[in-house]
Structure formats: C-alpha cells, structure tokens
Amino acid sequence: MTGNEIIFATANFNKASEIQQLLGSSVRLLTLKDVDILDNIPETGKTLKENAALKAQYVFKRKGLPCFADDTGLEVDALHGEPGVYSARYAGEFATDENNIQLLLKNLNDITTRSARFVTYICYIDATGAEHFFSGELAGEITAERAGEGGFGYDPVFRPNGSGLTLAQMTLDEKNRISHRAIAFRQLVKYLNNKD
C-alpha cells in the first residue's frame, strides 16, 4: 500500500499520533478535523463494539471513503466492569481525564483487589461499505496513586501485568508494544497490508 489515505474517526491528536506511528508511512491518516467533520459523533451504543461501528458508519455516510473508528474502555473487576463504555465520560458528559481518574480512585478507595483491563474495538469500513472488526485487550491493575506524565486518559493509574510502570510512565514505543489499542491496530494494519 502506497499513498493511501484513510479517515480515522477521531479528534484526539494523541490517539492519532499513536496510530500513525503504528501504520508507518504506508498510510496517511486523516483525522475528523482534516476532513471537516467538526460535529460530535453520537456514541449511543451499549457496547464498545457498537460505538466503534456507529462512529465509522457516521464518517462513511458523510465522506464515502475508507475509514475506521475505535472505542476503548477501562473495565475494573471490583466495579463490575465499570466504567466500560462510559470510560470517557465516567465523571459526567464534559469530564476531563483528571475528573475521571479522581472518581475512579474514589470508587476504589477501600478496595484492595484492583484488577482491570483496557479493551479496544475497531470498526474499519472499506470502500465497498463492508465492516471489519478488530479488538485488543491489556490486563493490569489500578494503582493507588497517579504516576507518570505521558499518555492520556487513565494511563497514569493503570499498571499492566508484569510491569513496574504505569502506561503514563512508558515511552510511546514501550506503550505501543503492549497496549490494547496497539494489539487491535496491528490486526487492522495486517488486514490492510494483505487485502491488496
């Protein structure tokens, strides 16, 4: 694949940078801003997979070009899978990453078993309108305190199993080797490279 452009249904520059690094130079990633979709895409699905599909369908209907969307959630066992599909708005519709982390730590205040996992679903819609799904998971635990300056979202309080570092303490390369999003996107990249 050379010179291909694919729309990534995100306005999150950090996320787009992570994915562009995984894709390398074979694909040029266009964000929602690049294609003048500035409205908030409704995420009304009851699952991460449904939300990924809804976002990709929205972009495909508007532009008619190959596109993909992802939805990622943090599932904490002691909280019965919360925040899950509501991870980005756990502390409310306009919550910041910090608001969400504060609520999570508060809800886990007296809990010692803090096992959790990040889950990512991707929906890729090809030029014919066919949908293809990919997923990735990263198991770990929620730390008692924030650590690290990198990453975004819940990264400062999520420590992957077998690591002494939170995701926010890792370099982008280190994170991309193990992350839920990287696992799912590697599947997408493999699919894109093999479909021609």
Specify the pLDDT at position 196.
Answer: 55
- 12's tokens: 């999150």
- 80's tokens: 């019965």
SS3 70: strand
Specify the pLDDT at position 36.
Answer: 93
Buried b / exposed e over 122-140, threshold 16 CB at 10 Å, is bbbbbeeeeebebbbebeb
77 is catalytic: no
State how far the Cα of 50 lies from the Cα of 43, in Å rounded to an integer.
Answer: 8
Q: Which of 34, 39, 70, 71 is catalytic?
A: 71
Specify the pLDDT at position 69.
Answer: 96
98: CB partners within 8 A, 6+ apart: none
CA atoms within 13 A on the CB side of 104: 36
Specify the pLDDT at position 168.
Answer: 96
Number of Cβ within 10 Å of residue 155's Cβ equals: 24
pLDDT profile of the chain (196 residues), mean per 10:
74 81 81 91 91 96 94 96 94 94 96 96 96 98 95 95 96 89 90 75
Single out the residue of 110, 127, 121 nearest to residue 192, CA to CA: 127
Q: What's the topology of domain 4-194?
A: Maf protein (3.90.950)
State how far the Cα of 186 lies from the Cα of 94, in Å rounded to an integer.
Answer: 31
Domain ranges of the chain: 4-194
- 87's tokens: 């991870």
Specify the pLDDT at position 3.
Answer: 41
